[in-house]
Structure 1
Amino acid sequence: MASPGACEDPQSHYCSPLVSRYASKEMGFNFSQRKKVGTWRRLWLYLAQAEKSLGLPITDEQIKEMEANLDNIDFKIAAEEEKKLRHDVTAHLHTFARCCPKAAAIIHLGATSCYVGDNTDLIVLRDGLNLLLPKLARVIGRLADFAVAHADLPTLGFTHYQPAQLTTVGKRCCLWIQDLCMDLRNLERARDDLRFRGVKGSTGTQASFLQLFEGDHRKVEELDRLVTAKAGFKQSYTVTGQTYSRKVDLEVLSILASLGASVHKICTDIRLLANLKEIEEPFEKDQVSSSAMPSKRKPMRSERCCSLARHLMTLVLDPLQTAAVQWLERTLDDSANRRVCLAEAFLTADIILSTLQNISEGLIVYPKVIDRRIRQELPFMATEKIIMAMVKAGGDRQHCHEKIRVLAQQAAAVVKQEGGENDLIARIRADPYFSPIHPHLDGLLDPSSFTGRAPQQVAKFLKEEVRPALIPYRSKMGGKTELTL
């Protein structure tokens, strides 16, 4: 059996681009057939070890035989078995038994296929979250450094994509970071909330294990606890059907979809700013943006993130519907769907985080372009400050307001109808009425005086909220991400 997305001949068969083109080797392996079947065999070993320790007639020799063959997996034989049996777990059970003839009689003792299937899925979900978390932390860390570097750089703010009050480049970046910090907390919570299915039997009642231990409830509970601990979980779900609740999948993929929304918003902002030529993502020396337009510098990485983030956001519909239609103790119409959506969600989240890290490590800012755009809009934004200064100099507020209104309309006509520069300040300088404040106009038009507490907010936010959130990932914050494509 090939791993998801892998092909013997990738040029002649469809291969998922999530694996062949984008995602990391680590995440690709996490959802591979080898990781899955290897985990099944370890779960069979944990079960046998725990059953032996609680008094069932299992020998040391049988345990050692299983231990020696955990990774001795003949996928060709397993595929032949599955073709006959139409049951993947049973096929691999038979394949494992061939490797372990002495242990064959006690492998999978008392268990149902969901013992290995569902417990493995929970291990893979946990391991996948542990792969994503440091990646997300690195993105936050890189953006935090960017926010610090540009905390004081004034830039035109936009509401409704129309010019609004000034902010700073660093403060805008903090809006991105805030969303990602929410995602970091949600991913941590999802990982920490995950439990093990444990050993529960075919409908979750543990009847088969109660029979094995001759009605000893204490031993059945201890078996569940022992196997749960061996698998690296602190707790198992107290009640299950044949499967763990599919709402668990829904909760995890909802958080990944939310991460997708965050990344889509950030990369859309970068694409908009790239159009304004204020900020650009990294652009390599030999990179080609267009086969027809050599001068073009398209935000390819940000576009990729948006494209994949949309896919990630839609995947939450699969577990949402699956959780809704699980009849009674379980149906099998979840299986094929989950093979696709769980892997794709993690693989997609993996690549958008790697790509966003690459973007955040090389963001380019063009202060002169930013300043030019500020100068085009600032005269209109400064009118209230000019009115207040005139009032302090003894002018009449209403009369001053009317004078500026007329001049502003004239300047706007030059900009909109003639395509000229905003000359409002030149008009104010030329009008004797405003002579009392002429010496102060440059100070009134200082862009930094229009950014409010943006620089202070950046410093406080990063110190009190962002840096503490990154402490658990300090040892994994190094290194740069290079994209292969």
Structure 2
Amino acid sequence: MTDSSSASTPLSSDQPRVRLAEAEPAIALGPLDGRYRSAVAPLIDHLSEAALNRNRVHVEVEWFVHLCRERALEGLPDLTDEQIAGLRAIVTGFGAEEVAELSTIEAETVHDVKAVEYFIARRLEPLGLGELTPLVHFACTSEDINNLSYAVGIRDAVEQVWLPAARTTLEQLAALAERAAEVPMLSRTHGQPATPTTLGKEIAVFVHRLSRQIRRIESQEYLGKINGATGTYAAHRTAAPGVDWPEVSRRFVETLGLTFNPLTTQIESHDFQAELYADVARFNRILHGLCVDIWSYISIGFFRQIPVAGATGSSTMPHKVNPIRFENAEANLEVSNALLDALGSTLVESRWQRDLTDSSGQRNIGTGLGHSVLALTNVTKGLKQLDVAEETIAADLDANWEVLGEAIQTVMRAEAIAGTEGLDNPYEQLKELTRGRRVDAEKLQEFVASLGLSAEAADRLKNLTPAEYTGLAAELAREFSGR
């Protein structure tokens, strides 16, 4: 009978315990802000809530400056260089104190973009621009500011963080392809022994595929609009009917380094985001395939993992060096794609002229890209810890001479076409000899000698080994690894 007084009980919500949510410093709920923060920290400057607010301030300030430069309204002054510098200093000086101030304003407005408007307005008087307070957020709806702020943040995150991480991984992979370009290896199609290749050529396939996706992402357009509450310039035209507002807006969007979207509802349609996330997700899926292949090569001993000094592979089995970098990458690529796929499908839809599903959705962009960056970091580190086990690869290949059946039957076909007699049904002859059984070098050479091939063809096959039957694999590896 169990002594209930000594039995353990599970924690429940009504038991007194330390509230971890109240701990200082704050304890992260998600791994990207906790365990893995160092790997994804560069994204914070582009896709965090604070970065979004800084970008909103940036867009509002530049719209203010642009309207003055364009003389879009009567009575607008020429801003001095000092005033423009002071306005832009609101953006460059946006730090922890400003984040806190903006949060306080938003608590009163209960509206994030309106809080940004008030935040900027507070800073105009010292610049001698107090009378231009109405120009802040002129003729804008919140989405005019938000779409541009997100576009700037996404562009900078991709170009300054994600792409450099992807290129670093690609460089590591290309170096491995070059290093293993001439290492002959048994292929496995459907998991079965197949025509030999080289390890470098198989790695170069991934280099080539990933490179194509990077080029697509490098050429991505980042779209933006600033055309009012329902995309009609109605407020603009009513306030200043003589101004070519679509042209003023186009020039402004382009000053931000974005591509102008000339026709929208209240929201920028987010199609470019869906295109971008599809390309990143495709890159992720190809990288996931690489991780699976590398993991599998490690499991059969084709790669040795270089132990990290002081690291523990298993809590109970001291001999193990686990392929955790590639396993970690697989999981994070899957999480990244789940988010990117969801964003890509939901952001292209909006009820009638506007709903707020995109507002909540877009706040997860940093998380989606963050898991991809974390995966890239792990793959890069994992590749650095790989050593090619050439002797294991060679032994595996040497145990499968039957893969030369393809070469022999193809030479037989060529000889038959050239007029050599007695070479009927070459495929069937090799099928009879090799299917379902191991065939060594001696048996293959006996078979070749019995065929009556031309002397040149017979010598070519007599000297052929599985390690030499790799075709142009080494050349392809070097060509497409960019080395």
Question: If the length of structure 2 is used for normalisation, what is the TM-score?
Answer: 0.79
Name 2:44's counterpart in structure 1. 28
Residues 199-208 or 132-141, more deviating: 132-141
How far apart are 1:430 and its partner, in Å?
Answer: 10
Name 2:207's counterpart in structure 1. 177
CA distance in 1, matches of 2:231, 2:286: 38
CA distance in 2, matches of 1:241, 1:399: 68
Identify the match of residue 60 of structure 2 among 21, 44, 47. Answer: 44
Name 1:472's counterpart in structure 2. none
Cα offsets for 1:313-342 (capped at 9, x unmatched): 2223322442454112111122112211x1
Instruction: Note if contact 1:155-1:168 (Cα within 8 Å) is conserved in structure 2.
Output: yes
Instruction: Note if contact 1:18-1:344 (Cα within 8 Å) is conserved in structure 2.
Output: no
Q: Secondary structure at the match of 2:224?
A: coil
- Amino acid aligned to 1:118: N
The alignment's C-alpha RMSD in Å is 3.6
Instruction: Note if contact 2:336-2:370 (Cα within 8 Å) is conserved in structure 1.
Output: no
1:122 to 2:148 alignment:
no
Instruction: Note if contact 1:157-1:166 (Cα within 8 Å) is conserved in structure 2.
Output: yes
Instruction: Note if contact 1:385-1:444 (Cα within 8 Å) is conserved in structure 2.
Output: no
Q: Secondary structure at the match of 1:297?
A: coil
The correspondence of residues 159-238 of structure 1 with structure 2, limited to 5 A, is 159-190=189-220, 193-197=221-225, 199-212=226-239, 214-218=240-244, 220-233=245-258, 235-238=259-262
Instruction: Note if contact 2:198-2:474 (Cα within 8 Å) is conserved in structure 1.
Output: yes
Instruction: Note if contact 1:174-1:458 (Cα within 8 Å) is conserved in structure 2.
Output: yes
Name 2:404's counterpart in structure 1. 382
Q: Secondary structure at the match of 2:268?
A: coil
The correspondence of residues 314-329 of structure 1 with structure 2, limited to 5 A, is 314-323=338-347, 325-329=349-353
- In structure 2, the CA distance between the partners of 1:93 and 1:381, relative to structure 1 (3 Å rule), is same
Task: Give 5+ residue unaligned stretches, structure 1.
Answer: 1-5, 413-421, 468-485
Name 2:9's counterpart in structure 1. none
Instruction: Note if contact 2:184-2:468 (Cα within 8 Å) is conserved in structure 1.
Output: no
Instruction: Note if contact 1:241-1:329 (Cα within 8 Å) is conserved in structure 2.
Output: yes
Cα offsets for 1:405-435 (capped at 9, x unmatched): 88868x94xxxxxxxxx6744667999x979
CA distance in 1, matches of 2:301, 2:282: 29
1:250 to 2:274 alignment:
yes
CA distance in 2, matches of 1:169, 1:250: 35
The correspondence of residues 286-297 of structure 1 with structure 2, limited to 5 A, is 286-297=310-321
1:76 to 2:100 alignment:
yes
Name 1:106's counterpart in structure 2. 135
Instruction: Note if contact 1:273-1:280 (Cα within 8 Å) is conserved in structure 2.
Output: no
How far apart are 1:52 and its partner, in Å?
Answer: 1.2
- In structure 2, the CA distance between the partners of 1:428 and 1:165, relative to structure 1 (3 Å rule), is closer
- In structure 2, the CA distance between the partners of 1:162 and 1:94, relative to structure 1 (3 Å rule), is same
How far apart are 1:456 and its partner, in Å?
Answer: 2.5
CA distance in 2, matches of 1:316, 1:390: 52
- In structure 2, the CA distance between the partners of 1:208 and 1:169, relative to structure 1 (3 Å rule), is same
The correspondence of residues 323-342 of structure 1 with structure 2, limited to 5 A, is 323=347, 325-340=349-364, 342=365
Residues 262-271 or 128-137, more deviating: 128-137
CA distance in 2, matches of 1:118, 1:7: 34
Task: Give 5+ residue unaligned stretches, structure 2.
Answer: 1-20
Instruction: Note if contact 2:404-2:466 (Cα within 8 Å) is conserved in structure 1.
Output: no
Q: Secondary structure at the match of 1:171?
A: helix
How far apart are 1:224 and its partner, in Å?
Answer: 1.1
How far apart are 1:397 and its partner, in Å?
Answer: 6.0
CA distance in 2, matches of 1:365, 1:292: 27
Name 2:298's counterpart in structure 1. 274
Instruction: Note if contact 1:155-1:167 (Cα within 8 Å) is conserved in structure 2.
Output: yes
Q: Secondary structure at the match of 1:243?
A: coil
CA distance in 1, matches of 2:247, 2:430: 82
- Amino acid aligned to 2:206: W
Name 1:447's counterpart in structure 2. 466
Cα offsets for 1:415-464 (capped at 9, x unmatched): xxxxxxx6744667999x97999x989954523431112123223434xx
